[in-house]
Amino acid sequence: MKHINYLILVAVATTSMATKACDLTIQQFVDLDISTRLVTIEGMKERLVLLERYASDNEMMEADDKNRLQVTNIFTTYSCTSNQVLHFSNENGQSISEYIDTNDGVQTSFENIQNDFDTVSAQISAIKQNEF
């Protein structure tokens, strides 16, 4: 039993160390966040086009996989995983908010991204509602 507990402890410690290994500045985090949101919205727009032309499930899954890979590549560019970025966000939430609040261009970017997200989400929802 001690051996199993030790293995669990090692696994948890290794995971914790890996989670904390992402070394970003607040500006880098915001840039990464904006980039992943933009790529995600592009993926949503591609999904919308596929839905409008009644694409197969396989085509949609391929498009989703391609989009996920693009997001993962952004994380990799910053030498981070999505879990590490989430951890960074949780640890630095106040500083991130202050950075966004004091940089009008960043605020505008997030507002535009949110507007695009809301628009595309509404369009996808409308198509899905018409399917039923």
76-94 tens-digit pLDDT:
999 999 999 999 999 999 9
Give the pLDDT of the chain (132 residues) as one tens digit per residue: 444 433 343 334 334 444 565 889 999 999 999 999 999 999 999 999 999 999 899 999 999 999 999 999 999 999 999 999 999 999 999 999 999 999 999 999 999 999 999 999 999 999 888 875
Which among 106, 129, 110 is positioned nearest to 118, based on CA atoms? Answer: 110
The pLDDT score that the predictor gives to residue 15 is 43
The pLDDT score that the predictor gives to residue 92 is 95
Domain extents in the chain: 2-131
The pLDDT score that the predictor gives to residue 21 is 56
- Please give the model's pTM, rounded to 2 decimal places: 0.79
Which among 29, 9, 39 is positioned nearest to 113, based on CA atoms? Answer: 39
Q: Which long-range contacts (CB under 8 A, 24 or more apart) does 51-56 make?
A: 51/124, 51/127, 51/128, 52/127
With a CB cutoff of 8 Å and minimum separation 6, the contacts of 24 are: 32, 78, 80, 85, 88
The pLDDT score that the predictor gives to residue 129 is 86
The pLDDT score that the predictor gives to residue 130 is 80
